[in-house]
Structure formats: C-alpha cells, structure tokens
Chains A and B, each alone.
Chain A
Amino acid sequence: MTVITDMKNEYSKIEDREPLLVISGLHKRYSEGKSNEVHAIRGLDLRVQKGDMMAIMGPSGCGKTTLLNMIGHLDRRSEGKIIIDKIDTGKLSDGQMTAFRRDKIGFIFQLFNLFPFLSAVENVETPLLLQGVKAGVAREQAKMLLRELGMGDRLYHLPSELSGGQQQRVAVARALVTEPSIILGDEPTGDLDSTTSTDVMNLFRRINKLTRQTLVLVTHNRWIAEQCDYIVHMTDGKISHVEQGPFKTEEESK
C-alpha cells in the first residue's frame, strides 16, 4: 500500500510541473498472435516531468529496454498512448515519427552504436545534418560540444580508435547535439568499468543540471540508478514502485 501512496504522491508532485512524457495503458506484445507471444509491457502508466533524471530498474526480462524502445519510438507499441512534448505520437506517420525521433529524442546505448566508419565529430554532426543544418555549422556545433565533453583532442578519431568511455562521450554528444526533449540511455555504462562509469554519470548529472535536460536511463546497477532523481522499478512489464531520491551523493557512497 505504501507503494501506491508513494506513487500517488509522486503523481501529485509531477502534476504541479509540466509533464514532458506521459504514458498511459501501454502494452507491448512480441510475436503477436503467435504461439510464442511474449507480453513484455502490460498496461503501464508513467509521467516524466521536464528536467527529470529518471532511472528504470528491474530484473532481466521485466521490459525495461522494451519500455525505453517504446519511449524512443524505435519499436511499435501494441496498445496504449505516449505523449512526448505534448505530441501524441500515436497519430504520427512513419516519416513524422522519424523526424520526431530526430528532433525530440537522443539515444545512448550500452554498445555505444556509433557509426564505425565515421570519425567522432562526424558521428556527432550526423543528426544535425539530418535536421538540415548547414554542413559547416553542424561541424562547428559538433566540435564545440565534443570539446565541452573533453573530447577536443579526439575529434577525428574513428570509434575503434577510442576507449569505451571516450566512445560513450561521443555517443552522449551525438544524443545531445540536437538538443532533444529527452535523452534515453539503455545501460549507458553497462560496458564500462566503474571509473569510467562514474565519469559518464557525472557527465549526465552535469548536463541535467546545466541544461535541465530530461534523462531516462535503464540500468540494473543500483549505484548508477541512485545518481538519478528517482528510480522506477519494473517487474513483469509493469511499474512495481517508484523510489524517490535524492539518494546518497557520490562522495557518500564511496
């Protein structure tokens, strides 16, 4: 019961502010109609306020990544409603959806998913180019951002020539460069050692503080999750409870 009360409290709190992301009645079934149908998300509701830094935790197979893919519109939902930045994405065509994804959402992946054949700066500028930004302007912005992220001396390196942390910084830069409404991170530190993970998380927090950028991270690392404002726990395709921060600071945890 306490859980429910907590959630209600949360929602009342959220309602005060502008909701950036509203999910209601979300279902996702893989292999729909087939014998091996998997019901990954089973009627999920969620609201995220602008500027929130939220972590999603849960055991493997509980639907964390699926939920993130739904939010990022990398995959189609089976039913339910998602509103991001006041846009009901259910009504979008594929083309509009792509533009929406390009403009509103930034992705950071566990495996970085940088284009291996593009240099750091080229990886970062690509989303800008897709927005139609002039090549020169895009290049400048990408460089600036990379420099800010401490990658000024690695601008023209290929991903394979960068360390994991450096690659993730590039990935972060690529996600940030279009100034999306929301950044989605799927285990963004999952492939990194703890020091690098710390660096990356510090980076996220800094960005969050500086730009009021909304961040949604999927992780099963408790420590990572605690860097966020609150943690949404999932089991069996549903939110089981929300854990409200602030949690212990980095220094305290050490």
Chain B
Amino acid sequence: MGIKSSFMIAARSLMRRKTKNLSAILAVTLGVTLLVGIQITTDTLENAFLTSLLQNEGEVDFKVSNSTTTGYLTAGDKETITDIAPSAVGIMPELTMQVPAMLGSQYDDSVELAGISTNYPQAFGLFYDWKTGNEMDLDALLVSNTSILLSSKQAKKLGLDEGASLPISLTTEFTNTTGIVVEPPTISLTDWTVEPTAATTDYTLNSNPDSLSLELEQVAYPGMMPSLVALFKMNISMLSLADFDYINVTATGTSNVQVLLQFSLDDGSNFNVTSLEDKSLPVDVETLNSLSFDLSPYAERMLRGDAFLVVISVDGMPASIEISEIAFETSKPVISYSSKIERTELEVVGIFDSKRPGIGSQYSGAVLRLEHLQQWLSLQEREKELDRVSSYLVALQTNHFTSEISEEYLQEQVDIVEAAIPVAVDPDTGDSEKIYSVDSARLTFFSVAEIIMTLLSTILTALGLLITITGVLLITNVQLMNVEDREFQTGVMRAVGENRRGITMSMLIENVFQGILGGIFGLIGGLAFGQTVASYLVSLFGTGELSVQPIISQQVVIFSVIFGVALGIITGILPALRASRVNIVEALRGIKVTFEEKSGRNLVLLGVLAIAGGVFVLLINGVIDKSYEGIWLVEGWNTLDEWRNILIGAGLLFSGLGIVLSRFISRVKALNITALAVWGAPVFLFVVAMGEWIPDISGLAPDILIIGVAEIVIGSVLLVSVNLSPLMSALRTFLVKIKGLKGVGQIAPALISSHKTRSTLTFAIFAVILTLNVTVATLVPTNLSTIVETEQDSRGIDLVVSLNIPEANITGLSYVEELYKLDNHIVDVIGFKTYKSLTNYQSYLAFADPYSSEFDYQTDLLPLGYGEITSEQIRGNATDSLDSNWRYDFYLSSFPDDINQPPVADVTDEQLNEMSKQAWDLFFDNSYTMAAYNVSLSEILSEDRDLGDIDFTSFSGYAGYELEDVNVLRDENDSVIENPIVFTDSFLLPIGIQVWIPMNSSETGFPVYQAFTVAGRLDFQRAGGFPLSSFNFLGGGDFNFMDALGNIYMNKYWANQTSFLAEANGVTSTSKAPNQYNKFLIKTTYDMDDPRIQSIAQAIEEFTNTDDEGYRSLAEDNFYVASTTVLYSRIEQSLEMTQRVVSFLQIYVTFGLVIGAVGMAVISVRNVSERKREIGMMRAIGFPRTQVMLSVLLELVVLGIIGLAIGVVNGVLISVGFANMQGATLVIPWNDIAVYLGFITAIAMAAGAVPGWFASRIPPAEALRYVG
C-alpha cells in the first residue's frame, strides 16, 4: 500500500477520531500561541521602546556642525555640506539656544528655542496642530520675532491643556547687549611736557586743549647742528587699537621742522607714526598733516598710555610747529557695548503635536523662525554677524516613521560624510583639522536601545523558552497518547499488510495536518496574546509616550506555521517510529510496549560520547583553559564562569553515565544516579556555592541561570519519574487503608505508574511552569527589603530638594539657611552641586581618550551628569566607624581596588561601614590614584555580545566584568596607568573603567580632559539608593532615558577644576561659586513615613516658587523653581515599579500555567475516553460512581501535586540562590504557593470532573463494549 492509502487512512482517522484530533490540534495551537505571543510581545516592546527614542529625532538622520572654535556655521556652508552629503534628500539650517521659560506661574528651568527656516525641504515633514491635527502654516504664524510655536510636550510640562486659548505669553530672559557709538578719541593736546634732558635748544611751548604749539629758537651754530626738543605725554587713555584703523595728525609748521611721533604699547613695545630713522615714514609737517597712519598691524594691542613727540629744526634755524589734532580714527563707528539680562515676552501662537511624524517631533521645546532667533542671538554677543546657524540637519529618507532607516546604511552615510569633510589648517600650530563634525543621535539611540533591549529580551526569551518547553511537552504528551491508544489499530494495519513506511507516513500526514491547523490557530492566539500582553505592558510602564502597535514581522508569521508543523512532525516522529515498530502480535494482544530494561548498543555509544563531552567540558577548567582553576581545587568552584563549565560538564557526564550504567545495573538505579547528579549540581551552586564560595556574583549571566534552571528541572523530573513506581505504591498503601478510597487507591496510583512516560510529561509541564512561578513569586519579597529596613538604611534622609538653577550667589543669602528657617523640624540640610548638560557635547563624559586619533565623539561620549561630594557633606563622628551616621549616608557598593579585599559574601553593617569609610578616605584624598582596567564601554555597547556578557543581577552594574579577570591598562612605556578616582551612580559604568571628564573650558572654548578611574559605585538599591541618583526616579512620572544614565561624583579638588561645578578658571556662564548648591538632602525629626514631611516639602516649594516672595524676592529672581521629592514616596514608587516588573513576569509565566491547565484538560478528556472500557469494568465489579470519578480526579491531582512539589522545591532552591546573591533574607511566598496548590487542584478537579462525571454515567454495559 502506498502514499494514497496512507492518505486515506490519515484522512479517515482525522475524520473519525474527532476528540483526539482536536486535542492534538489544541496542543499545537497552545504551543504556537506561546511562541508567537512571546515573540510578538518582545518585538512590540522593542519597537515601542526604539520608536519612543527615535521619535525625538523626527526625520533627522544626522547633523553637521562646526568643529572649529567659532562654533557656528553660516548660510554659505550649506553648499559645502550638500556637496559632501550627496545622498541627502533634505538639508536644513537650525539654530538652537536654551532659555529659561515661565508661562503664567509655571516654570521650566530651560526651554530649547530652535530657529528653523520656514521653507525647509519637504523631506522633513510638517507641523501639525496638537488640537485639530491640521497642518500648520509656519509663515502665517511666525510673523514677528516674539512669535513662537510650542511643542505639545513642552506645553504639557508647562501645564497647558488642549483647552488653552492662544496666544499665550511666555516670559523668558535674553541677554540684551546695547551699544553706544563712541566718538573716536583724540589725543589730548594739553599737559604735554618737555623731557628736560632732551632739550638741546630754547623753545616756547604752548599746549592747550585746542593745539600744541612749539617754537624753536635758533641754535648757536645754525647749519652745523639741528635744534631738538622732545616732549612726552603720560596718561593717554588705554585704548584698544582693534577699534581703530588709522591715526590722523593735523599740524602746520615751518618747512624746516621734522617730527617723530611714537606711542607705547601694553606689551612694552612701541610704534612710530613718524620716524627719524625709518625713511619710509615721512617726517616733515606737510606729509604729517596729510598722512593716515595705518593701525592695522597693531589691532591686537592696547595703548599703554604714554606718547613721545620729538621736534627737530633740521637747519638749526628758528622753526615752529602747531599740532591741532592727533586723532585715532576708524571707518566704522566705534560702539561701546553693555550686556544685560532682560525679560522678554514671547507669544505662543500655536502648539504643535510633538508626537506626530515630521520635523515637529524633533522638538520638545519651542520653535522660532530662523532669522528671528538669529536676531535674538545677536543681542547676546558682540559679534554682530546675523548669518549663523548651529548646524545643518540632514535627512537621508523622507519617512522614518513608516520605514525605519537601516542602522548600517546610516552608519555608512555618516562615515562617507565624515570622510569628505574639508580640512582647515590652523595658522598658529600648523595642525590640520576638519571644519565640520557629524553626529547622529539616531545612531546613538540605536546602540542605546540595543543595550536595553538585549537585557530585556534576554530575560523574556529565557522565560519564553522555558515556557515554550511546556508547550512542547504538552504536544509530545498528546502525540504519545495518540500512538499508545492506536497500537491495536497499527497492529491490525501491519497484519493486513501495511508496511512500516506506510504507517509512519499516515501518522506523519496526520501530524502535518494537525501542525498546520495548530500553527494557524496558534498564530491567531499568539496575536491576541501578544496584543494583550503588549497593551498590558503599556499600562504597567505607561508613560503614554509609547505607541504600542503589535509588531508582527513576516518571519514570525511564517516561522509560527513552520514551527507548528515542525512541532507536530518532530513530536510525532518518535511516536510514529515507535508505532511502526510495533510488534504485531503484541499489539493485537494489547501488550504494552515497555522500555527495554537494558540500554542497547547504540545508546551506550551515545552515553560514552556524552561522558567524553562532559569530561572535556569539566577539563576546560584548569586544564584546557588555564585562566580557570581546576575543579580539584577549592578555588575552582568560586567563579560563575567556572560554574558554567561545571554545570554543563556534570550534566553531560552524568547523563552519559546513566545511559552506560543502565547496561550493567538496573535502569532505575542508573537513572537515579543521573537524576541526582543533574539536579544536585545546580542546587549546589544556588544553595551552597552562591552563599559561601563565590565572592562576586555580579556577573551572573542568563545562560548560567538557564542552564541551572534547566538542569534542576530535568534532574528533578527524572528523579521523580524513575522513582514513580515506588512512590505510587506508597501512595496506594496509604490510600487502601482509607475507607471509601480503597478502590480509588487500588486504581489511580497503578494507572499513573503504568503510563510512566505520559505521567512524567504531565507533571513535567507543571514542574517547569511552577518552578518559574515560584521563583518569580519569591523574587518579589526576597528582593525588596521591607519599609522598616529601608527606613533604617536611609539614615534619616526624608526629603530631596532640587533647584532648577544653582542658588543665588548673594553674600549673606544661603538657601540651606533659609531652609532651616522654614521649619524647625528640619534638623540637617546638606547642599550639593550637580550639573548635567543634555545638549552641549563638550561637557559630556568621554569613554576613550579624547586626545587620541581613534576618538570618535559619536560613540565615545555620553551625557552623564556630574556632582561634587565633599567631606563636609558626610556627617557623623569621623573616628567612630560604628557611628551609623558616619559616611553611611552614601552607600558604596564597590570600592577602590585595594580596599576591596578580601571580599566577604555577607558583609555586616559594621564591616560595610568600615569599608565605606576607607573608600571615602581615598575618595577625598587628591593624591590617591588607582589603576585603570581594560574594560571598555564600547565593547559592551558593541553588537557582538553574547548572553554571557550581560549581567543578570538586576541593574546593579551592567558590566559582566570582575576586576581580577581583567588586566590593568598600560601606557606605551608599559607602566600601569593610574588616575585619580571618581565614584558613580550610573548602572552603565563598569568599575575600573577609565573615563575622561572635561575639566574646564579653555580659552578656545574647548574642554580640557582629565582621565579618571571609576573606582566605586554608590548603592542605588538599598534605601531607595543614593538619594541623588537620577536612576531612582525611574517609574516616577516622566521617564527620561538620558537622566537615567546617572552621574559621576568628584571630590572638591577635582570639582573645583571644572567650570560647571566651580569657578575653575574665571567665571563662565556655567560656573558656580563655593556653596552655590542646587540639590539639598534634608533630614527631619519626623519618621520617614510621616505625612508631615509632605507639608514641609510643600512649604519649601511655596517658599521658593512664589513670585516676588520668599526666595524669589530674596534672590531677586523669579525664575527659581524648587522641586521636592519625599524619599518615602520615591521608595514606594520604586517598590511599585519592581512589583510591576515582577507582575509582568508573573503574567508571562502564568501563561505557562494556563497551558498546563488546558493541557491537563486535554489529557483528562483523552484519558477518560480511552479508558471507557476500564471504567465499565470498574462499574461492573462494583465501583461506585463517586470512586470512578475520584480515581479520574486523583490521577490528575496527584500528577499536579507532584509537579507543584517539584516546582516549589526547585523554585525555593533557586530563590535561595537569588537571596544569596542579593544578600537578602529569603522570603517564601507561602500564600502564592497556596494559591498555586489551589489552582492546580481546581484545574485537576475541573479537568477531571467533567469527563469523569460523564464516564461514570455511561451504563457499564455500554462502556464495556468500547474498543479503542
């Protein structure tokens, strides 16, 4: 019989065996649903995240700005840029500046004003009104230099809603420079005196404001010698010669007069307007009168204030000269400027939707017409050039919102443009430099998003993978049942002459059909699932910014159907093969195919291979890879990388051993050894090693976790499976003693142990899912310390106040003192200086040497914030490390290298205090330096990361490095590079990394970089973390990714070298005076959760934020805004956030539980229908209906409970590992476990009761007639 008959048989069995087919299809459906759903969720999340990041970029792919000292581009640069960026579809000029803004009583510390040309290219899209959605006509709206468009983002921040009627006036400050035209100065002609020694003749000097007249008498020997008089003049005004072009002298005199006129300069040199020696300079009065002396060679100089005049009568005869004017002149008027900050009212003429596609989405501030902003900007500086733009924006394609630009293409284009930038030669140094710089925020976002998504999707994929396993288990289970209950039929088919291939074929055809149907249904289910979870996610993390459209990639659709079919086939192949091998006679007689007791030869070979593989992997530690220690050493068990190999090696070794041994000893014994070893290895890791041996678990990677969890689950399931018979006979012994359950006890346990494979698969589903569930459920209480602990850990800091700008620098006015005055319950206020610029890349932190040729400021700079921590800010008794106040307000979770020894797994508070104190001592020691290590951020940011590189221990250090595993950096002379140290609260920075901080703006306006080693990380887990860490604001209101990057903290010495934390090198616009703070930590006498703290916070805000009152009146500045954060509510928020994350994970894993439930129902229905006959027998020999039902139920309940027990034990063991890792107390969520128990019992009841009830209702005679 051929394929045709296979088809016929398959078709017939598909038609006839409806329940069974449906259950198989359902199983595939569930599996595919899981897979597709998880994939869609992950994709959607990633896309939503990336979109929200990229949306800020509108249609802009990169921008080109001036990289030379002038800092600006002009209209003329557009042509050059067009030439070097041939692929651009749009280029537009943009000018930006930051201004403070006040709308009514709402303040924002700074608003970005962007000047854009209103005739920008189509490629950049349009502006849309946020209310009506209509296209905005920029030309009609932006009519004057006070007309602005506000972005909807900014409008919301300023408290506007869509009902606001326009125009609204927005107050801002512009630096206004006013100039007065200065009359060209003339050299005063009074007060000229004769230098006594220089006179060689008699003279008459008459100097008055109008003229300087000098008459020389005849000398004794006229014709022989000239007469000479030298005059000098002090106190000429100090005059910048840059303002003047030439000197004009108005003089009359006799023809025999010669004149020398000399001016001294600020650098000690001088210049002659006329010269006696230099023949090129005329000396006679006539030419002096008509001469314009060119001052341009001296444009950079100042007059020192003295001049020198020599008058000679060449023939010694009487002579006279009258100078009526010595004037400094210029072709342009000389203007004297004075700068003043002035209030300006801008009119908001429209509000555009900054979430709509188009250029508008790029702006979160306000938009002006380019020429208007140029006008405003020109007021700020003396430079009167109107024609200047900050940068040219370049778009490479027209619609980024519907088709995202490829990262590779963008990078390629940026590289092309970068290579084509013209070079200019610096006339002073002779160095050549590129005149433009190109930067693409879009590219940065790509890589940033990648980090976050890799983390997130790794976790999700790991979970998803484990959950999908349950789906596979379910399908296999159902397929296995298919074969089991078809053995008879197969026997008949074989008996009537169907060959093995035919049987396999007909079963495969069935499976493919089921797989396709299941794949399609699964796709639909997965879409629904993905959509639901994705929108739930948005409600969980919702900032309202994420647009969540489920992302259904074509691959997912194709993949899911293929996966369904493949799943059907793969899970079907084994049973089909088994079916085709059926012994005809045995099948017809109903003899169950049982496992061979001993391993066959092929199997033994496989076992030997596994043993060899296992031994090889184990030998990697210490033998093959010398960087690991061997497992025969104690040290060989103390790093996670060593454990990775131990886990894999032990797993392989013992699996192989079990297979080989079962050829010689009984399979049960052999497999028991395997199961115990496979289960024991990771348990040992979690429970013992993580607690005691492994000092640093910060590098726990998901792959170790997945391997560990997989081995725990496999080991435990195998262990229970091989011991199922004794376990069940124990259960039977117990049950048959109970009256009314004797019959049930006789049947149910025997049934379970007779279908060992099926039973194992069933409880394995629950074991996997519940292991995950219990682990996740345990994570919450274990991970989070209670409020009480938090209160202790916070050391009494109740409140954080942030000022939008540093406090006023007015003598006798201190914000700290003002705060003390506000409420006498405030007992301590500590002021801090922090600084962060999101727009000025010259203040960004560099991750590579900015002076090296390889430095790429697109990838090597990140906008981290800076802060100063001084020793005065840390309170307490310095000599007493037990003083809980001492240096404990700011936790350090890592320390400079030489005090981080030897690390103790469980650090007591005293030890932590002591270590923290030592670390702070080093921090405050300017002369202390620490080696920099070979860890780089670019490696972390690069794409070729694998799972092992990612740190899984929450966000406490995205590093994956341990200092002992990496080398110190050496310079070209091979000496260790040592730098001063800084601390950080950024999760991004690995400890030991070398960073460069722009210390100050030099004269040229470019930063001077200083290298540092990141030596310690401020704890942001305990007590809600370091109170200033911006990371802690995650989940509370607006999520700003850039803020979450964190800060670098310097000691006072280094903070003083920067202009953004101190007056490093003269006052600049960013520099701060000592004690000019902008953040304040406040302790009160109240308990942490006292609501009165909220009142203090309100009082502070009222004091600071009321116009012309309180602090605003004291500082005479109505732009001050204080925002307060009550630490308790922040901790609550972060608790809530963690709970949200966990509840999201719960939903994820609970889906597995649902699969388990449905699977159980499927299995139960199948069980009952195929056991109709046995049920008939039971009824025939006197089983009451209740006991029939009970035995159906009991089977499921027992399997469910075995699964639960395995899950709880495994989950708790894994959680012990987590608790060890976090140093937290393990809290077992008994409530959740009780819920799971209830859930499983309920499922088993529901799944078993309905078919059981129907079964018990069938008249026994009918049930007995049932065959297969």
Binding site for A on B (CB under 8 A): 589-592, 733, 736-737, 739, 742-743, 745-747, 750-751, 753-755, 1173-1174, 1176-1185, 1187, 1259-1262, 1264
Q: A122 and B746 in contact (CB under 8 A), knowing A74-B1179, A76-B1259, A98-B1182?
A: yes
Q: Which residues of B contact A189 (CB under 8 A)?
A: none
Number of A-B residue pairs with CB-CB distance less than 8 Å in the complex they form: 94
Q: Which residues of B contact A94 (CB under 8 A)?
A: 1185
Q: A115 and B733 in contact (CB under 8 A), knowing A74-B1259, A101-B1180?
A: no
Q: Is the CB of A129 within 8 A of B742?
A: yes
Q: Is the CB of A69 within 8 A of B1181?
A: no
Q: Is the CB of A129 within 8 A of B1261?
A: no
Q: Is the CB of A130 within 8 A of B751?
A: no
- Could you show 11 A-B contacts with beta carbons less than 8 Å apart? A74-B1179, A101-B1180, A102-B1183, A113-B1180, A115-B750, A118-B746, A127-B1182, A129-B743, A130-B1181, A131-B1182, A160-B592
Q: Is the CB of A160 within 8 A of B1180?
A: no
Interface residue from B737, B755, B1182 paired with A101 (Cβ < 8 Å): B1182
Q: Which residues of A contact B1177 (CB under 8 A)?
A: 113-115
A116 within 8 A of B: yes
Q: Which residues of B contact A178 (CB under 8 A)?
A: 1182
Q: Which residues of B contact A130 (CB under 8 A)?
A: 742-743, 1181-1184, 1187
Q: Is the CB of A117 within 8 A of B1262?
A: no
Binding site for B on A (CB under 8 A): 69, 72, 74-76, 94-95, 98-99, 101-103, 107, 109, 113-118, 122, 125-127, 129-132, 134-135, 160-161, 174, 178
Q: Is the CB of B750 within 8 A of A102?
A: no
Q: Is the CB of A117 within 8 A of B1264?
A: no
Q: Is the CB of B736 within 8 A of A135?
A: yes
Tell me the complex Cα distance, A217–B736, Å.
33
Q: Is the CB of A98 within 8 A of B1179?
A: yes
Tell me the complex Cα distance, A72–B1180, Å.
8
Interface residue from B742, B754, B1173, B1182 paired with A99 (Cβ < 8 Å): B1182
Q: Is the CB of B590 within 8 A of A113?
A: no
Q: Is the CB of A115 within 8 A of B1182?
A: no
Tell me the complex Cα distance, A160–B1182, Å.
23
Q: Is the CB of A74 within 8 A of B1264?
A: yes
Q: Is the CB of B747 within 8 A of A115?
A: yes
Tell me the complex Cα distance, A75–B1260, Å.
7
Q: A117 and B1182 in contact (CB under 8 A), knowing A75-B1261, A126-B746?
A: no
Tell me the complex Cα distance, A99–B591, Å.
32
Q: Is the CB of B1259 within 8 A of A117?
A: no
Q: Is the CB of B754 within 8 A of A117?
A: yes
Q: Which residues of A contact B747 (CB under 8 A)?
A: 115, 118, 126
Tell me the complex Cα distance, A23–B423, Å.
117
Closest to A128 in B: B742
Q: Is the CB of A98 within 8 A of B754?
A: no
Q: Which residues of A contact B589 (CB under 8 A)?
A: 160
Interface residue from B733, B739, B753, B1261 paired with A132 (Cβ < 8 Å): B739
Q: Is the CB of A113 within 8 A of B1173?
A: yes
Interface residue from A75, A99, A126, A129 paired with B1184 (Cβ < 8 Å): A99
Q: Which residues of B contact A114 (CB under 8 A)?
A: 1177
Q: Which residues of B contact A72 (CB under 8 A)?
A: 1180
Closest to B736 in A: A135
Within the complex, the shortest CB–CB distance from A67 to chain B, in Å, comes to 11
Tell me the complex Cα distance, A130–B1182, Å.
7
Q: Is the CB of A74 within 8 A of B1180?
A: yes
17 new A-B contacts, CB < 8 A, other than A115-B747, A129-B736, A135-B742, are: A74-B1179, A74-B1180, A75-B1261, A75-B1262, A98-B1183, A98-B1184, A102-B1182, A109-B1264, A113-B1180, A118-B747, A122-B746, A126-B746, A127-B1181, A129-B745, A130-B1184, A161-B591, A174-B1181
Tell me the complex Cα distance, A99–B1182, Å.
6
Tell me the complex Cα distance, A154–B911, Å.
72
Closest to A119 in B: B750
Tell me the complex Cα distance, A72–B1259, Å.
12
Within the complex, the shortest CB–CB distance from B316 to chain A, in Å, comes to 147
Q: A125 and B746 in contact (CB under 8 A), knowing A102-B1181, A113-B1173, A174-B1181?
A: yes
Tell me the complex Cα distance, A43–B750, Å.
43
Within the complex, the shortest CB–CB distance from A100 to chain B, in Å, comes to 8
Q: A160 and B590 in contact (CB under 8 A), knowing A74-B1180, A98-B1183, A130-B1183?
A: yes
Q: Is the CB of A74 within 8 A of B1174?
A: no
Q: Which residues of A contact B1178 (CB under 8 A)?
A: 115
Q: Is the CB of A95 within 8 A of B742?
A: no
Q: Which residues of A contact B743 (CB under 8 A)?
A: 126, 129-130
Tell me the complex Cα distance, A202–B1046, Å.
94
Q: A103 and B1182 in contact (CB under 8 A), knowing A69-B1261, A109-B1264, A113-B1177?
A: yes
Closest to A178 in B: B1182
Q: Is the CB of B737 within 8 A of A135?
A: yes
Closest to A175 in B: B1181
Closest to B1187 in A: A130
Tell me the complex Cα distance, A98–B1260, Å.
11
Within the complex, the shortest CB–CB distance from B146 to chain A, in Å, comes to 91
Q: Which residues of B contact A129 (CB under 8 A)?
A: 736, 742-743, 745-746
Q: Which residues of B contact A174 (CB under 8 A)?
A: 1181
Tell me the complex Cα distance, A69–B1262, Å.
10
Q: Is the CB of B754 within 8 A of A135?
A: no
Q: A116 and B754 in contact (CB under 8 A), knowing A98-B1179, A125-B746, A126-B746?
A: yes
Q: Is the CB of B1259 within 8 A of A122?
A: no
Q: Is the CB of B1184 within 8 A of A95?
A: yes
Q: Which residues of B contact A122 (CB under 8 A)?
A: 746, 750
Q: Which residues of A contact B590 (CB under 8 A)?
A: 116, 160
Closest to A114 in B: B1177
Tell me the complex Cα distance, A117–B592, Å.
10
Tell me the complex Cα distance, A75–B1261, Å.
6
Within the complex, the shortest CB–CB distance from A199 to chain B, in Å, comes to 20
Q: Is the CB of A132 within 8 A of B742?
A: yes
Q: Which residues of B contact A103 (CB under 8 A)?
A: 1182
Q: Which residues of B contact A115 (CB under 8 A)?
A: 747, 750, 1174, 1177-1178
Q: Which residues of A contact B745 (CB under 8 A)?
A: 129
Within the complex, the shortest CB–CB distance from A177 to chain B, in Å, comes to 10
Closest to A75 in B: B1261
Q: Is the CB of A113 within 8 A of B1264?
A: yes
Tell me the complex Cα distance, A138–B176, Å.
108
Closest to A98 in B: B1184
Tell me the complex Cα distance, A74–B589, Å.
25
Q: Is the CB of B733 within 8 A of A107?
A: no
Q: Which residues of B contact A161 (CB under 8 A)?
A: 591
Interface residue from B750, B755, B1180 paired with A118 (Cβ < 8 Å): B750
Tell me the complex Cα distance, A117–B591, Å.
11
Within the complex, the shortest CB–CB distance from B802 to chain A, in Å, comes to 73
Q: Which residues of A contact B753 (CB under 8 A)?
A: 117
Q: Which residues of A contact B750 (CB under 8 A)?
A: 115, 117-118, 122
Tell me the complex Cα distance, A102–B1178, Å.
10
Within the complex, the shortest CB–CB distance from A179 to chain B, in Å, comes to 13
Within the complex, the shortest CB–CB distance from B1043 to chain A, in Å, comes to 65
Q: Which residues of B contact A134 (CB under 8 A)?
A: 737
Q: Which residues of B contact A127 (CB under 8 A)?
A: 1181-1182
Q: A107 and B1181 in contact (CB under 8 A), knowing A116-B592, A135-B736?
A: yes
Tell me the complex Cα distance, A117–B748, Å.
10
Tell me the complex Cα distance, A102–B742, Å.
14
Listed residue (A69, A76, A109) with the most chain B CB atoms within 10 angstroms of its CB: A69
Q: Which residues of B contact A74 (CB under 8 A)?
A: 1176, 1179-1180, 1259-1261, 1264
Listed residue (B1173, B1182, B1185, B1187) with the most chain A CB atoms within 10 angstroms of its CB: B1182
Tell me the complex Cα distance, A187–B1181, Å.
17
Listed residue (B589, B754, B1260) with the most chain A CB atoms within 10 angstroms of its CB: B1260
Closest to B589 in A: A160
Tell me the complex Cα distance, A69–B1184, Å.
17
Tell me the complex Cα distance, A103–B1181, Å.
9
Closest to B1174 in A: A115
Within the complex, the shortest CB–CB distance from A245 to chain B, in Å, comes to 28
